[in-house]
Structure 1
Amino acid sequence: MTAQGTIVEQALEVLAFASPLAIVGGGVVDPALLRELAERGIALVGADGGGNAIGAAGLTPAAIIGDLDSLVDRAGWEQRTRVIHIPEQITTDFQKALYCTKAPVTLALGTTGKRLDHTLAALSAVLQFAPSRRLLLVDEVDVALAVTGTITFEARAGERVSVHPLVPISFTRSTGLLYPVDGLTLAAGGLIGTSNQGLGGRVEIVPASDLPWLLILGKERLWDLVEMPVGA
């Protein structure tokens, strides 16, 4: 039994969402974006202190999950929504929210930026969960989709398209990029695919394995990635 399997079994419950879910952490979060997500029918779950950000936007989360050391007015929240207290300190609150939920698409807001250690922890969580669920990290500027396998999408001419390796990963071929990644192995400390560009039209990126990597686009592409068919 893996350590993660043990942790999952300790979860009080797993919340299943039929539509996209947004997990909100305690970092920088745009209240207007939270309200837009809610208006589009995307459920909001606070990862501990992320519940404070959701409340500050005038919204009520579907649940608040974590060790709750950063949540303000826990008793008040318990009267309004589901609060899941998980005291274990093996994982971060973001990981707790991930292993306690299921959704076809999961956005993560307020899990990167503000603190470097939280950003690195979020990337570690993405690496851990990307093989089993579709994850997008959203910050003030970018949206990063965790990809396993081939992806195709449309990009404008000159649009920034970054291909970031979470682990060393080789690519078989690509089309539609200014700097092709054909035959390249990308890895931290070696070649990375930051600030590539689209040529205009269809982009296809084909890795040599199903190891996870990040496709990073501008935040204006958020809804394109949310609505992208699985396996595209």
Structure 2
Amino acid sequence: MIVQTSETVTLVGAGLVTQTEIARSRALSGLVVAADGGAQHCLDADIMPDAVIGDMDSLALGQRSGLPAERIHTIDEQDTTDFDKALRNIAAPLIVGVGFAGARLDHQLAVFNVLVRHPDRRCIILSDTDIAFLCPPVLQLSLSAGTRVSLFPMGLVEGTSSGLKWPINGLTFTPDGRIGTSNEATGEVEIVMTGPKMLVILPKAELENVAGALLQTPAQWPAL
């Protein structure tokens, strides 16, 4: 494990990201970690990352010269993405990822794949419009009536809900079958899932709300 902390961590990727998004995530966290080329986003924002993790194929030698050598952690294997390399090497109560959505659809899908393959890591992905995270065993959120709540299965999964306009009780979700996009909250929401396969997608305005809820959720999925 490269980073071990009791604080929330901001994880910066090399994709599309604004300094406003980085600053918003940093307001929730104590440490900043860059995934490979995300280090340049940090330096552009005058932030010295606490660690840089990845295969370093998108971080030029000139860019590395501005980083302390002991903070660069090179993982040479090419079987996983830099997001995967970083996520599995951070032990923290919560990780907020920025710079992992937007530019390329294949990269974004790969990020969602990693969230499901590392269910023991609590991680919220912040994009320019939304946030996405793996639903814990029990999710309790206070949402305003009418707030969009999208549920997208990454495998076969079932669950129950209260506080959704269209309850999910008794439904079976699969990526090639029933999905749950564009549901709505009616107020206090509780979602219970049978396994670590459901992504929750909410408007980005709910970042702080969700971060607080996940930190207060005692149950979490075990490592696969």
Same fold (TM over 0.5): yes
CA RMSD of aligned residues (A): 1.7
SS of alignment partner, residue 161 of structure 1: strand
Q: Does residue 193 of structure 1 match 2:180?
A: yes
Using the alignment, how far apart are the partners of 1:147 and 1:126 within structure 2? 10
Q: How far off is 1:102 after superposition?
A: 0.8
Structure 1 residue 82 and structure 2 residue 68: aligned?
A: no
Letter in 1 for 2:145: A
Structure 2: how far apart are the matches of 1:204 and 1:17? 29
Map of 1:114-133 to 2, 5 A cutoff? 114-130=103-119, 132-133=120-121
CA contact (8 A) 2:8 2:28 kept: no
Of 178, 200, 203, the residue aligned with 2:189 is: 203
Residue 5 of structure 1 is matched in structure 2 by none
Q: Is the 8 A contact 1:32 1:57 kept in 2?
A: no
Task: Read off the aligned partner of 1:42 and give its amino acid letter.
Answer: G
Say which SS state the counterpart of residue 53 (structure 2) adopts.
Answer: strand
Which residue number corresponds to residue 198 of structure 2?
A: 213
**Using the alignment, how far apart are the partners of 1:77 and 1:124 within structure 2?**
32
Moved over 2 A (4+): 35-42, 72-75, 77-81
Map of 1:61 onto structure 2: 49
State the distance in 1 between where 2:130 and 2:200 align: 10
In structure 2, the residue matched to 1:164 is 152
Gaps of 5+ in 2: 220-224
Query: Which residue identity does 1:219 align to in structure 2?
Result: K
Residue in structure 1 matched with residue 81 of structure 2 by the alignment:
92
Q: Tell me the secondary structure at the aligned position of residue 77 of structure 1.
A: coil
Instruction: Report the Cα distance in structure 1 between the residues aligned to 2:147 and 2:66, rounded to whole angstroms.
Output: 42
Letter of the 2:89 partner, please give it.
C
Number of the residue aligned with 2:210 = 225
| Equivalent residue letter for 1:79 | P
Map Cα deviations across residues 106-141 of structure 1 (whole Å, 9 max, x no partner).
Answer: 1111112211111111111101112x1211111111
Q: Which runs of 5+ in 1 are unaligned?
A: 1-12
CA distance in 1 between partners of 2:169 and 2:68 (Å): 55
TM-score scaled to structure 1, two decimals?
0.87
Q: How many residues align?
A: 216
TM-score when normalising by structure 2: 0.90
Quote how far apart the aligned CAs of 1:40 are. Answer: 4.5
